[in-house]
Amino acid sequence: MATSFRPLAIRQELRKHYAEVSRPKEYGPDGWHFLLRTKDGQPRSLLISAADHDGIEWAHASIAGSEQVPAYEELTWVHAAVFGDGYSYQCFVPRSSHVNIHEFALHLWGRLDGKPALPDFGAAYGSI
């Protein structure tokens, strides 16, 4: 049973932005699946899951459209719903490591505790 997330709180946050948000359904050993509909009627699927990697619990969230990639703004909504005020990352990896099982999906990864996984690049000079 999935325990790392608060699916009803995630649903409540998503309902601020989407016309429809399904009740969460368990997904895998520690995850949830939501069906969403944008205000202009576009269907979306949101999957969230958690897993241990090298002793740290990581969360993954993916949002997919059936005919188009969701807008960046939607990814910010997913970040707020799943990661709150914590850190999450969109990754670009070498082609040899790239995995794509849905052509219209966007992904976020972050530590489940919300801590950063990268250094504070702006600490010394205020920006990179």
Hey, where are the domains in the chain? 7-111
Q: What is the pLDDT of residue 123?
A: 82
Nearest 5 degrees, angle CA 107-CA 110-CA 113?
150
pLDDT of residue 99: 83
Tens place of pLDDT for every residue, the chain, 128 residues? 456 899 999 999 999 999 999 999 999 989 999 999 999 999 999 999 999 999 999 999 999 999 999 999 999 999 999 999 999 999 998 988 888 888 999 999 999 999 999 988 888 787 76
Residues pairing with 49 in the sheet:
31, 60
pTM: 0.90
Question: Pseudo-torsion of CA 62, 83, 7, 9, nearest 10°?
Answer: -130
N- to C-terminal Cα separation, the chain = 42
Q: What is the DSSP letter of 97?
A: G
Provide the pLDDT for residue 3: 65
The dihedrals phi and psi of 73, each to the nearest 5 degrees, come to: -55, -40
Token pair of 70 as six digits = 């969701």
What residues are paired with 89 via a beta bridge? 109
Return the biggest CA–CA distance within the chain. Answer: 45
